[in-house]
Amino acid sequence: MSEPLLAVRDLHAWYGEGHALHGVNLDVLRGETVTLLGRNGVGKTTTLRAIVGLVRERSGSVVFNGSDLIGLPLHRVARQGIGYVPEERGIFATLTVDENLILPPVVAKGGMSVDEIFDLFPNLKERRNSPGTRLSGGEQQMLAIARILRTGVQMLLLDEPTEGLAPVIVQRIGELLATLKKRGMTILLVEQNFRFAARIADRFYLMEHGKVLEGFPVAELAAHTEKLHEVLGV
Amino acid sequence: MTMIFGIPIQALLGQLLVGLINGSFYAMLSLGLAVIFGLLRIINFAHGALYMLGAFIGYLLLVHLGIGYWPALVLVPIAVGVFGMAVERAALSRLYRLDPLYGLLFTFGMALVIEGAFRFYYGVSGNPYAVPPLLAGGTNLGFMFLPNYRGWVVLASLIVCIGTWLLIEKTRLGSYLRAATENPELVQAFGVNVPLLLTLTYGLGAALAGLAGILAAPVYQVSPLMGSDLIIVVFAVVVIGGMGSILGAIVTGYMLGLAEGLTKVFYPEASNLVVFVIMAIVLLLRPAGLFGRDA
């Protein structure tokens, strides 16, 4: 078995006094798509933020591609090859679509060119000179993912990419992620909608109270359905 | 003699020119304040002191080293910019995580220290700084006499303001700056060295203040108090334009200079007040400022 691309061990995180993560352990293998499931507030978003370093108060280890990210300044993490798409999408209102797209610096070869991205997202090309936040929610989500694809990162951290979007857009995002997966992108996905996640994920981790409760491959999803309903309350 | 509203046209145009000169300095200074406030969220009370520092460095270069106006126009902004970057690294960068009040208090204290030091060594009386020979004299425009140096100040400040605006609105570095103004953490998570960007931004703001200072040296006297005299009006300009709005700072700077000049013609007693009256009215009607986004 190959070394995991991302190995998180005993990750704790705090927001001021609040202890948000209580020792998260998870692995993501190269090329794998892994989904974190769990109710609101169990620490899924915090896990992603602690991995990239947006939560500074943390302990434990986050080993990516053989090097520990915990001691690195925030801006050095992306340069190791991790791209982050936040839940709120983080599209900048004072930047045009074009400027939003080329904002994240290229960190490695192998990213898509702007032309390739516009082929994939013709809507963005049409509106390249509009302010970023004039786009629809779905287009903003596409832009948030597209700008990371340009940077050549090996791994994508995606926080609830389908939240609040119409089914047809959700469908498109699913297709996009499937395409990325085929190209060899490693993806760590936070998703409430496990039916959506089931179509692209190789494995799942179920989180509760700031910890990973258990992990299982997609083949065992059916066996876990009852438990998921109980834990997720869906 | 040609009269407009019972005022000789020469007097009107003369005061408008004075207003335009003052407005040029308001615009350059409020621009730097706006850039700094936008990204660092620090109200830079040291801005007037940095402006004074620029004028004094120019004066000292001339008196002690015989370095004249034109080289000083390049050297002074670099020197004040480097000073600003050192201050940001050494002190301001440690205050970002604290209440914004600390940044305000620190820069206010720094202004007092810088001004106090210059008062101690050079007294409060102004030191003259001669207009460079190339720009001495004036030009008769037919309807009025324009001192060449004053024309140059207006031109130079327009170039500086437009240049800075283009830098921020049209370049890649500017897009980092705008994005980091909205969400610094996310920009840093994308791999942009935001702490360095903050240092450069404070340096840019300081360099703009220094440049305004050396441009001002031949117009006003070089005195330790020249900054504190101006800075209150400049803060009013920033508030009227909208905190952090680049375009707002520039346009409001010129507008208020002109408004002051006009007031001097029609109702001289109110000329020192007019900026603050406008500020009060703007704050009542548009609390975010003329060009501000509602936060």
For B:59-118, CB contacts with A below 8 A are none
Q: Test A99 with B176 for CB contact under 8 angstroms.
A: no
Q: Which domain holds residue A139?
A: 83-151
- CA-to-CA distance for A148 and B249, rounded, in angstroms? 34
Handedness of CA A162, A166, A171, A176 (dihedral sign): negative
What's the distance, Cα to Cα, between the start and end of chain B in Å?
A: 51
The band of B124, judged by pLDDT with boundaries at 50, 70 and 90, is confident
- CA-to-CA distance for B232 and B49, rounded, in angstroms? 12
Q: What is the pLDDT of residue B200?
A: 96
Tokens for B88, please give them: 């940001």
For A:131-160, CB contacts with B below 8 A are 151
Q: What is the pLDDT of residue A234?
A: 61
Under 8 Å between Cβ of A196 and A162: yes
Query: How much is the pTM?
Result: 0.89
Q: Same domain, yes or no, for A210 and A159?
A: yes
Under 8 Å between Cβ of B21 and B219: yes
**Phi, psi dihedral angles at A82 (to 5 degrees):** -115, 125
- CA-to-CA distance for B180 and B187, rounded, in angstroms? 6
- CA-to-CA distance for B252 and B236, rounded, in angstroms? 10
Instruction: Please indicate whether residue A129 or residue A232 has the higher confidence score (pLDDT).
Output: A129
What's the distance, Cα to Cα, between the start and end of chain A in Å?
A: 35
The model's pLDDT over A4-33, given as tens digits with 9 standing for 90+, comes to 999 999 999 999 888 999 999 999 999 999
Q: Same domain, yes or no, for A40 and A133?
A: no
Averaged over B271-285, what is the pLDDT? 89
The closest CB to that of A92, out of B178, B189, B193, belongs to B178
Under 8 Å between Cβ of A114 and A72: no
Averaged over B214-237, what is the pLDDT? 90
Closest C-alpha to B213, from B196, B194, B198, B226: B226
Tokens for B226, please give them: 């020249």
Closest C-alpha to B108, from B46, B189, B195, B34: B46
- Residue B225, exposed/middle/buried by CB under 10 A (0-12, 13-18, 19+)? middle
Q: What is the pLDDT of residue B8?
A: 78
Under 8 Å between Cβ of A102 and B193: no
Chain CA centroid to CA B19, Å? 15
The band of B1, judged by pLDDT with boundaries at 50, 70 and 90, is low
- Per CB-CB distance under 8 Å, the chain A contacts of B292 are none
- Residue B295 pLDDT greater than 50, yes or no: no
The model's pLDDT over A179-217, given as tens digits with 9 standing for 90+, comes to 899 989 999 999 888 788 888 899 999 998 999 988 888
Q: CA of A49: which chain B residue's CA is closest? A: B189
Q: Same domain, yes or no, for A24 and A97?
A: no
What residues does each domain of chain B span?
A: 27-139+150-235
For chain A, the domain total comes to: 2
Tokens for A4, please give them: 């995991």
Q: Same domain, yes or no, for A61 and A175?
A: yes
- CA-to-CA distance for A106 and B191, rounded, in angstroms? 9
**Among the three residues A136, A151, A166, which one is the final residue of a domain in this structure?**
A151
Count of alpha carbons within 13 angstroms of residue B116, beta-carbon side: 6
Q: How many CB atoms lie within 10 A of CB B191?
A: 24
Tokens for B166, please give them: 């283009």
- Per CB-CB distance under 8 Å, the chain B contacts of A77 are 189, 191
Q: Same domain, yes or no, for A58 and A164?
A: yes
Q: Same domain, yes or no, for A14 and A75?
A: yes
Q: Test B192 with A105 for CB contact under 8 angstroms.
A: yes
**Among the three residues A131, A151, A171, which one is the final residue of a domain in this structure?**
A151
Q: What is the pLDDT of residue A144?
A: 94
The model's pLDDT over A125-181, given as tens digits with 9 standing for 90+, comes to 999 999 999 999 989 999 999 999 999 999 999 999 998 899 998 998 999 999 899
Q: Same domain, yes or no, for A145 and A165?
A: no
Q: What is the pLDDT of residue B245?
A: 83
The closest CB to that of A103, out of B175, B181, B195, belongs to B175
Q: Test A75 with B175 for CB contact under 8 angstroms.
A: no
Q: Which amino acid is at B183?
A: N
- Measured between CB atoms, does A79 come within 8 Å of chain B? yes
- Residue A201, exposed/middle/buried by CB under 10 A (0-12, 13-18, 19+)? buried
Q: CA of B190: which chain A residue's CA is closest? A: A104
- CA-to-CA distance for A106 and B123, rounded, in angstroms? 54
Q: Same domain, yes or no, for A91 and A202?
A: no
Q: What is the pLDDT of residue A231?
A: 80
Q: Test B183 with A90 for CB contact under 8 angstroms.
A: yes
The band of B30, judged by pLDDT with boundaries at 50, 70 and 90, is very high
SS (H, E, C) chain B: CCEECCEEHHHHHHHHHHHHHHHHHHHHHHHHHHHHHHHHCCCCCCHHHHHHHHHHHHHHHHHHHCCCHHHHHHHHHHHHHHHHHHHHHHCHHHCCCCCHHHHHHHHHHHHHHHHHHHHHHHCCCCECCCCCHHHCCEEECCCCEEEHHHHHHHHHHHHHHHHHHHHHHHCHHHHHHHHHHHCHHHHHHCCCCHHHHHHHHHHHHHHHHHHHHHHHCCCCCECCCHHHHHHHHHHHHHHHHCCCCHHHHHHHHHHHHHHHHHHHHHCHHHCCCHHHHHHHHHHHHCCCCCCCCCC
Q: What is the pLDDT of residue B271?
A: 82
Q: What is the mean pLDDT of chain B?
A: 90
User: Which of these ranges, A179-193, A195-209, B133-147, B230-244, has the smallest mean pLDDT?
Assistant: B133-147
Chain CA centroid to CA B175, Å? 23
**Phi, psi dihedral angles at A208 (to 5 degrees):** -150, 140
Q: CA of A87: which chain B residue's CA is closest? A: B186
Q: How many CB atoms lie within 10 A of CB B153?
A: 22
Q: Test A78 with B178 for CB contact under 8 angstroms.
A: no
Q: Which residues of B80-104 are buried (b: 16+ CB within 10 A; e: fewer)?
A: bbebbbebbbeebeebeeeeeeebe
Q: How many CB atoms lie within 10 A of CB A233?
A: 8
- Residue B213 pLDDT greater than 90, yes or no: yes
For B:118-177, CB contacts with A below 8 A are 172, 175-176
User: Percentage of chain B with pLDDT > 90?
Assistant: 60
Cβ–Cβ pairs < 8 A, chains A and B:
62
Highest mean pLDDT among B123-127, B241-245, B256-260 belongs to B256-260
| SS3 state at A81 | coil
The model's pLDDT over B167-183, given as tens digits with 9 standing for 90+, comes to 999 999 999 999 999 99
Q: For A2, which DSSP code?
A: P
- Per CB-CB distance under 8 Å, the chain A contacts of B180 are none
Q: Test A103 with B195 for CB contact under 8 angstroms.
A: no
Q: Same domain, yes or no, for A70 and A165?
A: yes
E strand residue ranges, chain A: 6-15, 18-28, 33-37, 58-64, 67-68, 82-85, 155-159, 186-190, 203-208, 211-217
Q: Same domain, yes or no, for A168 and A55?
A: yes
- Per CB-CB distance under 8 Å, the chain B contacts of A74 are 185, 188-189, 194
- Nearest chain A Cα distance for residue B101, angstroms: 21
Q: Which amino acid is at A94?
A: T
Q: Same domain, yes or no, for A162 and A59?
A: yes
- Nearest chain A Cα distance for residue B49, angstroms: 31
| SS3 state at A188 | strand
Interface test with A, best of B175, B190, B196, B197 (most A CBs within 10 A): B190
Q: What residues have CB less than 8 Å from A150, skipping those under 6 apart?
A: A101, A102, A104, A106, A111, A112, A113, A114, A117
Q: Which amino acid is at A57?
A: E
Q: Test B183 with A92 for CB contact under 8 angstroms.
A: yes
Q: Same domain, yes or no, for A70 and A171?
A: yes
- Residue B83 pLDDT greater than 50, yes or no: yes
- CA-to-CA distance for A52 and A77, rounded, in angstroms? 6
The band of B294, judged by pLDDT with boundaries at 50, 70 and 90, is low
Q: What is the pLDDT of residue A92?
A: 94
Under 8 Å between Cβ of B226 and B53: no
**Among the three residues A151, A175, A208, which one is the final residue of a domain in this structure?**
A151
